[in-house]
Amino acid sequence: MPATRFSDLVRGMRDLRIATVPVLLMALLAGGIYTFVAVANDVSENELQRFDNGLLLLFRQPGDVSAPIGPSWVAQSVVEITTLGGYPVLVTLVTAIAGFLLVYRKFGPAIFMVAAIVSGTGVSHLLKIVYDRPRPDIVDHLVATHTASFPSGHATMSAVVYLTLATMIVRLVDDVAVRIYVILMAVLLTFMVGMSRIYLGVHWPSDVIAGWALGTAWACLSWLAVTALRALRARG
């Protein structure tokens, strides 16, 4: 194949990828919003109580709602996993990466990351106040809690933080395998944090599902906003 034809093919694939990403982000955004609204409506009408109760009890010993399934080291491991979605870990992580970006003079990505995460935190807290759903009362809580239940703040913020960081990293590499690995790791961390909240008995499963949906939608919305701003700047 002539060099010119090969370069045209590579350029065409790159243009297709650039055009496809916003479409995928829009699809994820729409799916996340739809899922959150659907779950929120069902929660308000108490239509998910049977599902929530059944899944919570699935993680407890039969006849003893105070004892989680598995040996004691499993429960301790889950407690440590859940901290990956807690504010101390997330704030430390975001601060460290923002500091690195500022030292590296990447002011745009630093501002984007902090703005997306801070605004996502605000929305999560606001929705907790609006819905004011009590924490689960059918099983014992294995860790302390201080806010309302819906949506799960850990599930929401782990999705916002890890997916936002993943989208920043994938822009720095061209290797498809590396990009897939980074995205999968972000999804895996988000999934583990959400499931830990159910295992520990501090969230209804529907809280976690809504948190995942909200966090994913917010990360996609933030990235679409940055993409639009860059397109406007390029035209100007």
List pLDDT tens digits, range 82-103.
999 999 999 999 999 999 989 9
Q: What is the pLDDT of residue 235?
A: 73
Entry pTM: 0.88
Q: What is the pLDDT of residue 91?
A: 92
Q: Sketch the domain layout of the chain as residue ranges.
A: 3-235
pLDDT of 5 higher than 70? no
| Model confidence pLDDT, tens digit, residues 127-151 | 999 999 999 999 999 999 889 999 9
Q: What is the pLDDT of residue 18?
A: 52
Q: Shortest CA distance to 160 belongs to which of 201, 127, 118, 131? A: 118
Q: Shortest CA distance to 214 belongs to which of 100, 128, 80, 124? A: 124
> 10-19, 76-85, 219-228: which has the minimum mean pLDDT?
10-19
- Answer whether 39's CB lies under 8 Å from 213's CB: yes
Q: What is the pLDDT of residue 56?
A: 96
> 13-17, 61-65, 97-101: which has the minimum mean pLDDT?
13-17
The rounded Cα 18 to chain-centroid distance in angstroms is 23
CA atoms within 13 A on the CB side of 37: 7
> What is the 8-class DSSP label of residue 61?
E
* Residue 217 vs residues 96, 163, 165, 214: alpha-carbon distances, Å: 24, 10, 15, 5
